[in-house]
A and B are shown apart, each in its own frame.
Chain A
Amino acid sequence: MSNNRTITNLATLLMVGALIACGGGDAGEAGGEAGATGGDEAASAPVANAGTIMGMVNFEGMKPANTPIDMAEEAECAAVHTSAPMTQRVVGDDGRLGNVFVRISGAVAGAAGAPSQPVVMDQIGCVYTPHVVGAVVGQGVAFKNSDPVAHNVQATPQLNRPFNISQPMTMTSAPQRFSTPEVIPVRCSIHGWMEGFIGVAEHPYFATSAADGSFTIANVPPGTYTLEAWHERYGVMTQEVTVEPNGTANVTFGYSEGMAANAVVPMGDPIDPHNHTAEEIAAHRAATSQSQQ
């Protein structure tokens, strides 16, 4: 981040991103729109002959219904929502899938470094907004509490250092940083329904699909890459993509309901911690305890 123009651009983009994020207070659609932020940040990096990856995440089959969240115990949070708050496990228009975190897998020659500004994951109306954020290794992720109630953020990564921080009132946390690419679940232990994900990538070439399934990764150095898509329920898909100098590569991922059964989700199935068997607890504990070593 050496020249002034870059910083100005970045600040503008962050402001736009923040506005989008705030506008996305309605839980059902927040995840998708914010996806633009990650991709656009990459656009701010000075890359010669940069190309663009434009993509679409399609979905086949019946999506399971998201379930309503009973926020009666937290009146201040319930008041934020104009419609009944719902979980965001599976979102997206008909035939599309949102909240899919897409990143270039592995190293990218000539990649831009981590932005100095932290990514902000907001907590509005006891819901993480956006549902999935992306961050570059070494970039800060700040958690903002926009609610007048206490939240804590418990991250349970497998490869990074776990943390558990709290926000007793409206405030923004010190930025948390990650050393290794992975997708990290975060939860609030005070409000068991709150669940979000942080996608960590080695470089700024990532995006989150919007509700219409679309995503854009801009400013990509030309080359051939493996593109990796991740969804909290349906797991990981990969495909090759070649970015021509100053060109645009189009990719499509096709998820289907049937994939849920065999999905290998990197951090383990994001199960609801209230309802699981003893074996599941054991597996979960084993996974989390490995991450501590």
Chain B
Amino acid sequence: MDRFWRLPQNISTYGGDIDSMFHIIAWITIVVFFAVELLLVWFLFRYRAREGRKATYTHGNNRMEVAWTAGTAVIVVILGVMSRGLWLDIKDPRRFPDAGLELIVTAKQFEWNVTYPGADGVLETDDDFTVRNQLRVPANTNVRMTLRSEDVIHSFYVPELRLKQDVVPGMSIPAWFEATVPGQYVIGCAELCGIGHYSMDASFYVHTAEEWTQWNAQQQTAAAGGATTNVASADATSAEPAGSPAAAAAGTSN
């Protein structure tokens, strides 16, 4: 069935649960689909017009009405109850697992800027650093993102994570994931955000712990030295008079 639905590879801890739910609904709907359509085709064939025959004169059957009303209601209530817990596990901040890494993701037309906490491990401090269009996280770590937008509504979407969350200006929206498979993936924007909407993609790397530690240390050093290789913080540096204390705070002002 995965081939039929073309589901992307799943690399997040809750992606499997979403996929299971997807498949449960898929199987229920496929059964209902074939039942109804086959019945329809069978009726069309069996009760096609023939000479000298008159249709059955009936206005319905209350017991059948009750049966299919109740039957449908039971199925959808079960689906609703099953889905609700999973939904809240993924989206309700009170149920979020403890974060191993906290990030701020700031969207703007048409890029994703990711702010890392720096050496002190705390966001919104002077040693934060910001990377443009790259989200790099260690595998098997709970990552908690705070999603913000500078201009219009965007939507953070990584198909492989089974994660999507709109990013709304004026709001700080929390989201979490834990990626399990190292590799390179793509972040897309899923909400029409303007003429560059289609090219609002960014790289998403899931690193092994060692790789990530190395990259993080390198970025921290660069950020502390003011000579970063990423343009987001570098530009802020140049916008300030040389030697200003703000240069060290590049990328933190959000």
Contact = CB atoms under 8 A, between A and B. Distances in A.
Interface in B128-143: 130, 132-134
Nearest to B246: A275
B239 A70 contact: no
A190 B250 contact: no
Q: Give chain A's interface secondary structure class.
A: loop
Given A274-B132, A275-B232, A67 B238 contact: yes
B218 to A, nearest CB: 13
Contacts of B155: none
Nearest to B132: A192
B102 interface: no
Interface string B88-109: 0000000000000000001011
Q: Give chain B's interface secondary structure class.
A: mixed
B238 A277 contact: no
Given A89-B238, A152-B195, A275-B236, A189 B251 contact: no
Given A150-B196, A189-B196, A87 B238 contact: yes
Interface residues of A, number: 35
Given A192-B132, A275-B251, A260 B235 contact: no
Contacts of B237: 67
A73 B203 contact: yes
B83 interface: no
A64 B242 contact: yes
Interface residues of B, number: 37
Interface string B201-233: 011000000000000000000000000011111
A272 B235 contact: yes
A23 interface: no
Interface string B233-254: 1111111011000000011111
A273 B150 contact: yes
Nearest to A64: B242
B110 interface: yes
B237 to A, nearest CB: 6
Interface of B: 106, 108-111, 113, 130, 132-134, 150, 194-196, 198-200, 202-203, 229-239, 241-242, 250-254
Given A164-B195, A275-B232, 4 more contacts: A67-B235, A68-B231, A166-B195, A272-B235
